[in-house]
Amino acid sequence: MNPISKKIYNKLSKEDKTELKSEKIELALVQDIIKDAEIAQGTVNQLSNLAARRERDYQEVLKIANKVGVDLDNKIIQAGKFFVDLENKLK
């Protein structure tokens, strides 16, 4: 192989390796994004289920308290409102 062809071949070879490394990094990033999205979606689903259950529980406690004429503790009211707001945000 003549010296000019050798230089061209070496330069192209280096560029191909760099491009391949870049593509591997991009592929790894895409795979990480997909994996993290799946994990996050599972977490959101669990949180949504929890918020829905606790919101129903709070409504039931509130209904019973009103029925028997008892005032709920401020902490219970705050916690209940938190779950009501959370469920609305996750819908």
Give the pair of three-digit tokens for residue 65.
């308290």
Answer yes or no: pTM beyond 0.75.
no
* pLDDT at site 57: 96
Provide the 3-class DSSP secondary structure of residue 69: coil
User: Is the four-CA dihedral 68, 74, 79, 82 of positive or negative sign?
Assistant: positive
Per-residue pLDDT tens over the stretch 60-86: 999 999 999 999 999 999 999 999 999
How far, rounded to the nearest angstrom, does the alpha carbon of residue 5 sit from its chain's CA centroid?
52
Per-residue pLDDT tens over the stretch 17-66: 556 566 667 778 888 888 999 999 999 999 999 999 999 999 999 999 99
Q: How many helices (H) and strands (E) does the chain have?
A: 2, 0
In our burial notation (b when 16+ CB lie closer than 10 A, e otherwise), range 30-65 reads eeeeeeeeeeeeeeeeeeeeebeebbeebeeeeeee
